[in-house]
Amino acid sequence: MDELKDFIRHRREKAAELRSAGINPYANSFRAEHSAAQIAERFAGSTREQIEACTDVFSLAGRVVSLRSFGKAAFVHLQDRSGRLQAYIQKNEIGEESFAVFKKVDIGDFIGVRGRAFLTKSDELTVLASQVCLLTKSLRPLPEKWHGLQDVETRYRQRYLDLIANENVRRTFHARSRIITLIRRFLEEHGFQEVETPMMHPIPGGATAQPFKTHHNALDMDLYMRIAPELYLKRLLVGGLERVFEINRNFRNEGISTQHNPEFTMVEFYQAYATHEDLMGLTETMISGICAEVCGSTTVDYQGTAIDFAAPWQRLSMKEAAARFGNFDPADLENPEKLRSHAAAVGLPLCGRETPGELIAAIFEHVAEPYLVQPTFITHFPVEVSPLARRSEHDPSVTDRFELYIAGREIANAFSELNDPLDQRERFEAQAAAKDRIEGVTGAIDEDFLLALEYGMPPAAGEGIGIDRLVMLLTDAASIRDVILFPLMR
């Protein structure tokens, strides 16, 4: 860059002038003892007289986000981690020299302020500065104060600007943090132990999705970024860790959309001696509790629709849901010809080799999923689309599995775990064959996982919850990118 923009040149010049006057424009000597919110909290409900009678001196540091300068005085708003607070800087309060330094402060700079509190004429709590320190000179102008930063691409690529300019974005990511904390707390209180399992897998498993491939040079070994932690968490059940959970990233080499980011966060948890029925209750309790705590209510507005998280939630079998929303006789789903004709009628592309269970699942996803707005557990998943779930003891064609749908989206997936090593091997082989049949790709079988099962895995149930999607629901975010700090950009 041979020609600097005026605003950058001006700010560099100011920084240089300060340096030559013996002022470090990147000082780190100021210790803020209070946050904006703490000071506001201190005087919440106080009268003007009470505030002005208080002789406490507060120290506050933050970014200057607005500046209204008069000849020998100025008002600034400082923004810190907790919010904003106004400071009033007067020449005769801080002295001539200090005021000369302050005159070189721009919007965007970090400053520290020390002083007593007062109420302005318009009743705004303000710190009357007795001392002002420049802490960091900003060389670039911030986005505009009134409209903030709107450009979606800039918001994602330069998230720091989005966070500075848009308070609702700060709120969203604060909510995300709280949601994860509450999930962790809930599971720990229920006796679950947090673990970390490999992110790089020799054989990708635990879900059906395209993996990212990578390579370890020293071992000359191909590896895959994990698509799910499931098979490792179950090895821990074999190892006797009866209740485990992991909150971490999964990576799927698939399309990107408002619901899909290539890396996304899931919580997966496994509980020995529990069934998928137990997990439905656990899930209702956990999510409705988190909703109440984060949103202050179990009813939230999501993109203009009210969603009620109060338990209990509706439960429907997949066949019931498919027949109800597809408007046909449930008995048709038991008849292979009628099933296939319904699938064709709703516009599904068919190759002619789909099994009945695959057709039921495809019809369900097509006709019912978008209409499952209120929290709904869908149960009785066909065995063909559930390679890791335990077969139902009442109907061998389905599994003891549920998925949770909210706002037309899959939020959680859970099942009583298949722990019969021979059945598991058959399912893996069927799955590999299906992959070969439909995609012409040979699926690898995780022999090490089957070996673990042969030692005996206690009966258990496991569940995965998509954290990003849950956060979207609880923060009214339209796109998954609005709840991921740095979404993948081309």
Partner RNA sequence: GAGCCGCUAGCUCAGUCGGUAGAGCAACGGACUUUUAAUCCGUAGGUCGACGGUUCGAGCCCGUCGCGGCUCACCA
Nearer to RNA, 190 or 249 (CB): 249
Nearer to RNA, 28 or 92 (CB): 92
Q: State the Cα–Cα distance between residues 274 and 417, nearest whole angstrom.
A: 9
Nearer to RNA, 405 or 449 (CB): 405
Site string for RNA, 360-399 (x = CB under 7 A): ----------------------------------------
Site string for RNA, 96-125 (x = CB under 7 A): ----------xx----------x-xxxxx-
Nearer to RNA, 101 or 238 (CB): 101
Q: State the Cα–Cα distance between residues 403 and 379, nearest whole angstrom.
A: 7
Q: Are 230 and 205 in contact (CB under 8 A)?
A: yes
Q: Which of 25, 115, 143, 357 binds RNA (CB under 7 A)?
A: 143
Q: Which of 37, 43, 57, 148 binds RNA (CB under 7 A)?
A: 148
478 belongs to the binding site for RNA (CB under 7 A): yes
**Cβ count within 10 A of residue 130:** 16
Q: What is the CA radius of gyration of the chain?
A: 29
Identify which range of 215-223, 254-262, 335-343, 450-458 contacts RNA by CB under 7 A.
Answer: 254-262
Identify which range of 68-76, 214-222, 234-242, 443-451 contacts RNA by CB under 7 A.
Answer: 68-76
The string of DSSP codes covering 427-464 is HHHHHHHHHHHHHS-PPP--HHHHHHHHH---SEEEEE
358 belongs to the binding site for RNA (CB under 7 A): no
Q: Which of 144, 196, 448, 454 binds RNA (CB under 7 A)?
A: 144
Q: State the Cα–Cα distance between residues 109 and 367, nearest whole angstrom.
A: 54
Q: Which of 214, 257, 285, 335 binds RNA (CB under 7 A)?
A: 257
Range 17-56, binding RNA (CB under 7 A) = none
Q: Are 235 and 426 in contact (CB under 8 A)?
A: no
Range 456-475, binding RNA (CB under 7 A) = 466, 468-469
Q: By C-alpha distance, which of 477, 470, 468, 487 is closest to 171?
A: 477
Binding footprint of RNA, residue count (CB under 7 A): 73
Nearer to RNA, 238 or 424 (CB): 424
β-pairing, 110-119 vs 73-80, is unpaired
The string of DSSP codes covering 133-182 is EEEE---SPPSPTTT----HHHHHHTHHHHHHH-HHHHHHHHHHHHHHHH
Identify which range of 42-50, 150-158, 289-297, 323-331 contacts RNA by CB under 7 A.
Answer: 150-158
Range 332-351, binding RNA (CB under 7 A) = 349
CA distances from 392 to 60, 188, 218 (A): 62, 29, 46
Q: Which residue type does 107 have?
A: I
410 belongs to the binding site for RNA (CB under 7 A): yes
Q: Which of 46, 136, 154, 392 binds RNA (CB under 7 A)?
A: 154
Q: Which of 12, 42, 91, 425 binds RNA (CB under 7 A)?
A: 91
Q: Is 84 exposed, middle or buried (0-12, 13-18, 19+ CB in 10 A)?
A: middle
